[in-house]
Amino acid sequence: MSSAASRRTGTDEMVFGNSPHTLRTNGNYTCYPHVGRTGLPIIEMSNMGLRTMKEAVVTFFHETYHHYRMKNFGDTGTEDEAEEFGQMMWRKISGSG
């Protein structure tokens, strides 16, 4: 399974979440995400990404940001942008900012 981007911490393994997209033979990702049975894009989340409500919300929206960027701009955006989007959504949902 290929990954366009994922919520990681310093290593190359998925730690929190992943947004799988198809990898072309030239090494570039397509804007087409892997989809589940319902036809919706797949977001993979690890136990670490689900350990608290905050981690789950931030990870979900972090990965959603990557899907949005791929669909609308053909790139995944940066990890910092995705993380900031996840944190912003947490603040909105939790009322902490």
Hey, is 45 helix, strand or coil? strand
Q: Alpha-carbon distance 23 to 53, whole Å?
A: 31
Please report the pLDDT score of residue 54 as a whole number.
95
Q: What is the pLDDT of residues 7-52, one digit of tens each?
A: 555 555 568 998 887 766 676 666 678 888 999 888 999 999 999 9
